[in-house]
Amino acid sequence: MTTVVVWTGVMLLGGVGAVCRFLLDRAVSARHTRGFPFGTLAVNLSGAFLLGFLGGLALDRHAALLAGTAFVGSYTTFSTWMLETQRLGEERRVWPAVGNIGISVALGLTAAWLGMSLGSHL
């Protein structure tokens, strides 16, 4: 693949990943309005699973760049996760803030492991 094709793919797939993040976050958040960032949690857990799955497939470097870095990198969102956690803390909602960190890390690692396990068996 030429460099131009790869970077064009990165731009396009990055845009698709960002739109998918927005749509999933919005859909989940519309159903769960309790003030906990369930939308971001759903996005990051599904992204961890997908990235683990792609890692288990052992893709070539161009496919890994396009699928992992471009799509999943723009789909998942560390910054929003931390901003929402900070906001929970500022609102003195300490247990939801701590829970957001603990649940995201524990379930994210589990999702990545499950994805990698599944991907490596294909």
How would you class 118 by CB atoms within 10 Å of its CB: exposed for 0-12, middle for 13-18, buried for 19 or more? middle
Q: What is the DSSP letter of 72?
A: I
Q: How far apart are CA 16 and CA 85, in angstroms?
A: 26
Task: For residue 73, say whether it is annotated as part of any ligand binding site.
Answer: yes
- Would you list which residues are annotated within the binding site? 73, 76
- Binding-site entries for Na(+): 73, 76
